[in-house]
Chain A
Amino acid sequence: MSLFKTITDKPWERKGIIGGLKPEGAFDAPSEKVALSVFLVVASVVFSLFTVGYFVRMELPDWQPLSEPAQLWFNTGLLIISSVLFQWARNIANSTNDKYLTAVFIGGGIFAVLFIAGQLVTWDSLQGAGFYMTSNPANAFYYLMTGLHAAHLLGGLWVWSKSSIRLLAGREASDVKLSIELCTLYWHFLLVVWLVLFAILSNT
């Protein structure tokens, strides 16, 4: 039933059971996935507001553009690989043959760890070049937004590590299927957030 139809329904006119024999949710998806999707919208609001803040702050006279370290391209590559591996793991989990599942899934997480390490190295080299948080607002936004992104990734890695342990302990793929599905969704989201952040930070 479409949203419009739903809320224009006259509930007093229709008596009796509506729907099938079982309760029906609004979405045909596991609750965990619905919850994660809602959370992703919330997280996008956070990142969008930072971005809005960034653009507002940019209009003020003391703004100096950030000099983008080349290493960020390399980091971006790591995160893309990570996301691709998660997608692969998800496809394996959905297929009948789950031979490489453990390796691919764990590999995806490892590339995410490498991405965070790469981000730390970039921070360090920026600091070394004298770009401190207080030097100018673009730097402050850079540290803040990349830090926040990394923090989200760390949250995802926590779930990833739990599932990895279960996989290593020899659990059936079906047991961790949902978890892999959710990780994949989350990773794609964080990749998109990173690409948008990267585009904004390097083009302004």
Chain B
Amino acid sequence: MALAVVVVLLVVGSVIFHFTQLYGGPWYFTDIAADWGTIDLTINITFWVTGFVFVVVNLFMAWCVYKYRQKDGHKAVYEPENHKLEVGLTAFTTVGVIAMLAPGLFVWAQFVTVPEEAIEYEVLGQQWQWQFRYPGADGQLGFADVSHVSESNPFGINPEDPAGQDDVVVNDPNMHLAVNQPVHALLRSNDVLHNYTVPQFRVKMDMVPGLVSYLWFDPTKEGTYDILCEELCGIGHFIMRGSVKVESQAEFNAWISSQPTFAETQSMAAPNIAAGQAAYTICATCHGAQGEGNSALNGPKLAGQDAWYLERQLKHFKEGVRGGEGDTIGSAMVPMAMTLADDNAIRNVAAYIETFTDTPAPTTIAGDIENGADIYDRNCAACHLDDGAGTWYTDAPALAGMSDWYFVRQISNFSAGIRGLHPNDNFGEQMVAMATAMDSVEEINDVAAYINTLR
């Protein structure tokens, strides 16, 4: 009896819950921003067909439970089967299935057939970053393969392929698209499975190392949308984020012409180390003449750090991405970074710092090395490597042999949201998430103490 009532209540409750979400509730599909309304339509058809079955069968069951519950003198009816009824129900179900399947297959045919006017672009996934490539004036993407991948050629574009020279390469996780221009996304991965998902576009596809998968859509609404990885790709899966900005054709053209082509990235002049040395004089005050660091003046050790990381941080200080509100010590770097006039000046000074001999910084932090090792191996080593050397591949700076007190301060800043949450900090948010692996200053010290053993 109670069971019948509860089943009725659950059916009614589920239906009400669904409609509150469908009409304005917070937990339903986000607004569509691509021309895939047909997918939403198929979902609606499926919802009505299955919803009808859900309601009718459950209410009938509840009625049976109520009506045919045990009563004195009542006896069940003996009816082994009713072939007519079963055939009827089969036919009815088949009709329902066809009603759902037919539009589904029809829309799938649209999805697998890329229209001719769609423009290609490439999405490259790797642990745990997004990168993008657009064809240049020739409208063709150059051949790319894992075997050509290096720090200066992260896409692995074949340098011999003339079609690749004018390819526009975007080495940060933010891409742009022109509104109402159908696009054909070619998906590649350098390491494991990833999945290119923008919920507003409704479509997604895995990126598989060794092959090129694809999807296509026609963005219909301007705006900036999140790109998420939706195929488990390792410990950093949940922090593999990017964004796509859909904008007018004119804005898109302006953006893409400001991005470097592959040829440009390959033919950059070597940095001027002498100029870097001159610029470094101002840095030497706090960071030491050989980049050895000075804890009293809050200058971390620089020697031994990779140039790509130094460049990025100098740009961040210069652009106000780092050293902003709350970062009282870091804010001292902002005017210093301002002294470097342009990207070339930054490259020069970073290249000069790379020439320093790397002697490990003095250890100043003590902690439980065993606990630190455990935390480090489980959470940090995936990007910063087992030996703490860091790698450009995962955008992870070197940790081993660097200033331990600086490590502690930066992790504390990430934890407190002082560093890494600036909207233009494409990589800092990953560290904000990973810093939660250390729950207290003690644990941060433990990890620092462990890193001190890695030199």
Contact = CB atoms under 8 A, between A and B. Distances in A.
A and B in direct contact, judged by CB atoms within 8 A: yes
Interface of A: 10, 12, 60
3 contacts: A10-B80, A12-B80, A60-B210
Interface in B177-216: 210
**Per DSSP, are chain B's interface residues mostly helix, strand or loop, or mixed?**
loop
Contacts of A10: 80
**Per DSSP, are chain A's interface residues mostly helix, strand or loop, or mixed?**
loop
| 3 residue pairs, one from A and one from B, having the closest CB atoms | A12-B80, A10-B80, A60-B210
Nearest to A11: B80
Contacts of B210: 60
Contacts of A12: 80
Nearest to A13: B80
A60 B80 CA distance: 56
Contacts of A60: 210
A12 B210 CA distance: 59
B143 to A, nearest CB: 13
A12 to B, nearest CB: 4
Nearest to A12: B80
Nearest to B78: A12
B418 to A, nearest CB: 49
A10 B80 CA distance: 9
A185 B431 CA distance: 63
B177 to A, nearest CB: 32
Contacts of B80: 10, 12
A102 to B, nearest CB: 56
A120 to B, nearest CB: 34
Nearest to A10: B80
Interface in B394-451: none
A162 to B, nearest CB: 48
B211 to A, nearest CB: 9
Interface string B73-85: 0000000100000
A60 B210 CA distance: 10
A17 B140 CA distance: 78
Interface in B192-244: 210
Nearest to A60: B210
Interface string B120-161: 000000000000000000000000000000000000000000
Nearest to B210: A60
A25 B445 CA distance: 72
A192 B209 CA distance: 37
A12 B81 CA distance: 10
Interface in B61-81: 80
B233 to A, nearest CB: 22
A204 B379 CA distance: 46
A101 B210 CA distance: 57
A10 B210 CA distance: 55
A82 B2 CA distance: 71
Nearest to A61: B210
A144 B210 CA distance: 23
A10 B82 CA distance: 12
A74 to B, nearest CB: 38
B220 to A, nearest CB: 38
A35 B210 CA distance: 43
A112 B415 CA distance: 67
A60 B211 CA distance: 10
B371 to A, nearest CB: 39
A7 to B, nearest CB: 14
A195 B380 CA distance: 52
Nearest to B80: A12
B82 to A, nearest CB: 13
Interface string B378-394: 00000000000000000
A111 to B, nearest CB: 44
B35 to A, nearest CB: 35
A11 to B, nearest CB: 8
A12 B80 CA distance: 7
B408 to A, nearest CB: 44
A10 B83 CA distance: 12
A10 B81 CA distance: 10
B293 to A, nearest CB: 45
B245 to A, nearest CB: 37
A151 to B, nearest CB: 30
A13 to B, nearest CB: 8
A10 B79 CA distance: 12
A152 to B, nearest CB: 32
B76 to A, nearest CB: 14
Nearest to A62: B210
Interface string B303-316: 00000000000000
A173 to B, nearest CB: 52
B86 to A, nearest CB: 13
B238 to A, nearest CB: 32
A34 to B, nearest CB: 31
A136 to B, nearest CB: 16
A125 B80 CA distance: 68
